[in-house]
Structures are given as structure tokens and as C-alpha cells.
Structure 1
């Protein structure tokens, strides 16, 4: 019996990936890197910022922090008017009518997470930030923390993700996971362990 729904943020609650791609493209251009959709999907999507800049540029410390802060500030400038993924509000209404718990589990920095949630007019009862728990996706720790805080077993939850990294995190915590096709292909998401793929949340209503 499902007792809780857990959602990733970027690319799941809203299709923010095009905005992240644009922001990364702008801040990485001076370093001679060209960010196209394939590069973004393979080298950036679903990863923590410090890992991204260390992998792409070999940067750590203050220089890495400055680059990350510039990228995230640019993202927030771009993300002023966001629309929720189709079907999300209906899914949340159905979940709340059934007395289900719900929360958000994200690798996004705190300021970005609050910015996106405010833009979507969403107030999740639970928000788990990878930067606060010490390890980010694909590590399962963020989802394990979410389960503990909600007091539910893995099999009593459903997770919704959009990247192979996120799917591996939720599946690694033992949670049945469905993946949205907002940024990655079905094959990579299913290989990561997703039970199924969804075009949007209108296809998730029958899961409850």
C-alpha cells in the first residue's frame, strides 16, 4: 500500500533542464566548453555542482564556488515563470485526498530549490537537500533520509525521477521508481532501475 510520494525537483516537478543547460552554457563558454543537449545529458544532468566543475574543469575551492554561484544566479534569473509538469497538481490533489504524505528530494542547492518551489507555488511537507545530508544522488542516502523522516518503509513509497542518477538513488533506497521522459531516453532510465517511464504526471494518476 502506497503511503508516500517522493519527487525529484529539476526536470521532474517542472521542466527546468533547458534553463540549467542555458546557464551552464553561458558560464562554461569562457573555458572553451560547448554545452549542447547531449553534453548536458551525459556530463551534467543529475550530478552535484562540485562534481560537475571538478570533472569538467578540474576546479575546486574558491574558484569552483564562484563559478557555481554565477551559474545558479543565472539560473534563478531565467527561472522566473515556471509551469509544473502536466498532471502534477491533479496527482498531488489525489494523493492528499487519500491521506498520502509527499516530499521533495533534490541535489539542487537550497536557494535554487526554494526558488523553484516558490515559482511553482508548491509547499512540500518535506524537503530533503543532498547538500544537507552529506551525500547526493546517485547515492541512496537522500532518499533513505526522506523515508526515515516520513516514517514509511521503502515499499510504501513511490519515487518520481528524471535522470539515471536520480533513479539509481531512489532504487538504491529500495523505492519503486518511475521516471519522466523530460530529459533522458527510456532505455537509460529503465537500465538504471525504473519500473516504468512516464511522459508526464497525467500517466501517474492510475498508480494511486
Structure 2
């Protein structure tokens, strides 16, 4: 099997399961704003098809015929989320630690290709220390580096340019169908590693789908991509 030159984790959700923590932060921010909104789990799962927290708030408000300051609400949500990261115990998702260690031992570059804020990324890595540190990543992408968030492929193209690699040399890992569209749109073979609130998403564009990450899963995706390239 061919070793990829880099493995690109597509979001903070591919490293740690934060979806329910994020939902709680949204609901607390809504309460502070006096909106009377509460996103239950099934509603949140549907809303996750809209990428970006501000966009999600705006879309929900529009569906209710309301006008809100989505940016201010999202600022409050982010502050609450960072506090929850400090208060609650957080660990890496199944197989992530082993995959990170394997990549490092084999000279495979690591990237985090997110379009969330740098503050959110730093907050997560601080919560995951010492098991997952900033120094592990050769490339750390965030929303401030691109004009168009996922599902636009710009974030992945930026990462490829930074690492000086072609799409065929890397494997991406994504946790939602919307984000998967970004990596596939950049021509990158992608392993779908669904988060707990997106199991019903359509991951048919993925090279493979797995509930547990591992070096074998990465290598199998690289091999499948190599065969597809060879046989057109």
C-alpha cells in the first residue's frame, strides 16, 4: 500500500467529539439573548447541514420570521463553548491518537484544515493537551486564511499549496457531508469519520466510511485512490 505524504484532518470534530457541547453552548447563548429558542438534538442534526454557526443562526431565525444579531449571538456562544471546554473532560475520538502517532513515526505530514476560528482551534487543542498539541501539525488552517468557508474547497487548496503537495499525495478525514464536499471538490480522497450528530448524512462521495480511525483505514483509502487514478 502507498503511504500518503500527508493526512489532513478536516475539522476539530475529526479530532474530538464536541457536537453536543456546541449545541449546549448555542442554547445557553439563546437564553442569554432572551430568544426562547432551544435546539433539541434532532433539530440540531438537521441544522448542521448548514455550515458555519452564524449562518445556522441566521437560517433558523429566517425560518421563524425573526431578525436577530447572529454575529453577537455567535460571539456569546463561542465564549460559552470555550468555558465548557475548560470545565468538561474531553478526549480524542476513537483511533485518532494511534493515527497521529503512526503518521509522525512514518514521516507523514499532518494538517488540520478547518474553517472555524483560530480561537476555537486553540481552545480545543488546549483542552486535548498533552495528547494532541499544536506542534503535531505541519499545517493549521482556520477561517482567517480563506474567503470562502466549506463546503467550498478553498481551504483544502490553501493547505495543498502551503504543503506543496498535489491532491493525489494526501488523504483527508472529514466528519460531515458538507465538509466532505470541500475535500472531494479539491480532488482529495477522503475518509468519512462521522460525528455523533451526522450519522444520517450522505457520505457516498467518500472513499471509505469508518466509525473508528486507524492507519489501516488511511492506507486502504490511499490504495483505493491509487487504483482509481491508474484505471481512470
TM-score, normalised by the number of residues in structure 2: 0.80
1:205 to 211, 216, 223: 216
Q: Is the 8 A contact 2:11 2:175 kept in 1?
A: no
| In 2, Cα distance between equivalents of 1:119 and 1:45 | 26
Summarize deviations over 1:113-137 as a string: whole Å, max 9, x none: 1110122222222111123211111
Q: Secondary structure at the match of 2:22?
A: helix
2:165 to 140, 152, 157: 152
CA–CA separation in structure 2 for the residues paired with 1:117 and 1:35: 26
Residue matched to 1:57:
61
CA contact (8 A) 1:105 1:129 kept: yes
Cα deviation digits, residues 76-96 of structure 1 (max 9, x gap) = 111123201121121111111
2:115 is aligned with 1:93: no
Distance 2:57 2:36 in 1: 13
User: Which residue of 15, 20, 37 maps to 1:18?
Assistant: 20
- 2:179 corresponds to which residue? 166
- Aligned-CA RMSD value: 1.9
Q: 2-side partners of 1:68 and 1:169: how far apart?
A: 23
CA contact (8 A) 1:46 1:107 kept: no
TM score, norm. by length of structure 1: 0.89
Equivalent in the alignment of 2:82: 76
Determine the structure 1 residue equivalent to 2:39: 35
Correspondence 1:195 to 2:207: yes
Residues of 2 paired with 1:102 and 1:189: CA distance? 26
Gaps of 5+ in 2: 220-232
- Corresponding residue SS for 2:201: helix
Any conservation in 1 of the 2:26–2:77 contact (CA below 8 Å)?
Answer: yes
Query: Match of 1:130?
Result: 143
Q: CA separation of 1:28/1:119 partners in 2, compared to 1, >3 Å: closer, same or farther?
A: same
| Rounded Cα–Cα distance in structure 2 between residues aligned with 1:42 and 1:161 | 18
Local SS of the residue matching 2:111? strand
The structure number with the bigger radius of gyration is 2
Assess if the C-alpha contact under 8 Å between 1:103 and 1:126 holds in 2: yes
Measured against aligned partners, the alpha-carbon deviations of 1:31-58 in whole angstroms (never above 9, x if no partner) come to 2333122221221366112312221225
Q: Does the CA-based 8 Å contact 2:191-2:218 persist in structure 1?
A: no
